[in-house]
Amino acid sequence: MRLLFRHTNQGSTAVSRETILEPDLPIIDPHHHVWERFLPPLPPGAPVHPFIEIFARRPKYLFHEYLADLKSGHNVRATVFVECGAFYKADGPVHLRSVGETEFVNGVAAMSASGMYGNIGVCAGIVGNADCTLGDGIKEVLEAHLAAGGGRFRGIRNVASYDADDNVLGPHPRPPINDLYMSDAFRAGYRHLADYDLSFDAWLLEPQLPELIDLVRQFPEIPVILDHIGTPLGLASYQGRREERFPIWLANIKELAKSPNVSVKLGGLANAICNFPSFHFDPPASSTQLAADWAPYLEACIEAFGPQRCMFESNFPVDIVGCDYDVLWNAFKVFAKGYSADEKTALFSGTAAKFYRLALPA
């Protein structure tokens, strides 16, 4: 597989290649990561899956790298970190090692809150990892995260993404159980989120959406956010089939929207898994071209859920393989041009603030 990386700024400069649209519009970025990855060298000529390429090209994406993107011109006021398996504890009980990630991210949030780096609430909300298959044992983990999060811990994510075609996800870790969200073992721990007033971020692939539909109906008291609009696929055995599967995705999105405890993140589309035509443009696609590619999916989600249950997301640095941070938010603004001021407020900041219980910095 050819290298797909075409990012231009690489988080190293505040100079944008596009004029920033609506630069005063407040934004909450409700989905990003910080990490430092160390990967073994690949054999010469070995195929490079997009997930490996992301880490190979951006092995370091910490506070200052993300801050450079945040300062590329848009008015990002606060952000939410979502778990990515970074900075786990090296020892101690295995089920508590993920708390190390929350400890680290809370330190990043404290750096931002010092005011030394500007008036942006970086990592104002934290979504960590706690293994729901622990059953009642998850309570100890949730309490440890809450203690480590400095009042910023908002919920957890358990990734369920799986496909029978291994080439779809490549080396990305698989869930411990296929059909994870349907399993009794998962649900035995998941139910305890309600005890702590915590939310759940769900990442799974488009063919798996019925699993999430069943889960949210069984536990209507737990707030759930669907990451990346359910990840439509266009890679490997799904190459050239995204349009064919659009009606299936749409029917499941409409069904999922019937559960009022569910919201959706609008983003995660600038990557090879979705494989939109704009992903292959050389030079890289403009914000107008990206918006045109993504519009059918974004429109369908907003129509099904309403702006009050939708939020734009960056998914950086994962989506860095498709576009720069400034271009990404321009694309969302191009798409949202026809929406009212109140609807834009919801989509760019209001829904995220409500779901993750955030206040924009004064």
For 138-175, the pLDDT digits (tens) are: 999 999 999 999 999 999 999 999 999 999 998 788 89
42: DSSP letter: P
Mean pLDDT of all residues in 286-297: 98
Domain covering 26-356: architecture: Alpha-Beta Barrel (3.20)
pLDDT of residue 225: 98
How many Å apart are CA 277 and CA 6, to the nearest integer?
14
The vertex-217 CA angle with 274 and 140, nearest 5°, equals: 90
How many Å apart are CA 111 and CA 356, to the nearest integer?
20
pLDDT of residue 3: 33
How many Å apart are CA 260 and CA 219, to the nearest integer?
11
Residue type, 308: Q
Phi, psi of 16 (to 5 degrees): -95, 145
Quickly state the pLDDT bin for 1 (edges 50, 70, 90).
Answer: very low
Residue type, 330: N
Residue type, 206: E
Could you tell me the pTM of the whole model? 0.94
For 78-135, the pLDDT digits (tens) are: 999 999 999 999 999 999 999 999 999 999 999 999 999 999 999 999 999 999 999 9
360 vs 6, more confident: 360
For 222-256, the pLDDT digits (tens) are: 999 999 999 999 999 999 999 999 999 999 999 99
Mean pLDDT of all residues in 289-318: 98
Quickly state the pLDDT bin for 342 (edges 50, 70, 90).
Answer: very high
pLDDT of residue 360: 78
Lowest mean pLDDT among 3-12, 28-37, 180-189, 206-215: 3-12
Mean pLDDT of all residues in 50-54: 72
- Mean pLDDT for the chain overall: 92
Quickly state the pLDDT bin for 359 (edges 50, 70, 90).
Answer: confident
Q: Supply 28's token pair.
A: 């909450």
Quickly state the pLDDT bin for 6 (edges 50, 70, 90).
Answer: very low
Query: Scanning the structure block, which residue is given the tokens 């993140």?
Result: 265
Domains in the chain: boundaries: 26-356
